[in-house]
Homo-oligomer: A and B are copies of this chain.
């Protein structure tokens, strides 16, 4: 089990798209949306995953995370057990300086919502903020995927 340190931002323009070097579709659902013990099923690039996350630290920056790859067919069946709605999004990866932003463009119910995340090695690490990066929403539960 690892601790994930990440910061999360809204995205104010689609200027990031021209710099994306990778993108793929994600389909995911939750077997539990409780932030104390979130259980997520995800299909990404035709691979299945189960992920458990614990509570965030008080500053919202770090969170316990455990993930395991599972059979694609199992993931599809487990998605059927998940709470509605299932989330569909396209993930774009954009490298800026030494860091890679993961930018999620939501579809369906949350069409129009775009969120960028950056994973850091330590809590005070600096990184370049590109033009398209908007308001920081790190630790804001309203933007947890489990709460969408």
**Contacts from A to B (Cβ < 8 Å):** 1, 31-32, 34, 36-37, 39, 50, 52, 54, 64, 66, 68, 70, 73-74, 77-78, 81-83
Contact = CB atoms under 8 A, between A and B. Distances in A.
Nearest to A38: B31
A81 B64 contact: yes
Contact of A66 (B32, B52, B78): B78
**Copies held by the complex:** 2
A78 B1 contact: yes
Contact of A32 (B32, B54, B74, B78): B32
Contacts of A66: 74, 77-78
Contact of A37 (B32, B52, B74): B32
Contact of A68 (B32, B39, B70): B70
A53 B37 CA distance: 17
A66 B78 CA distance: 8
Contact of A78 (B34, B52, B82): B52
Given A52-B81, A54-B81, A81-B64, A74 B1 contact: yes
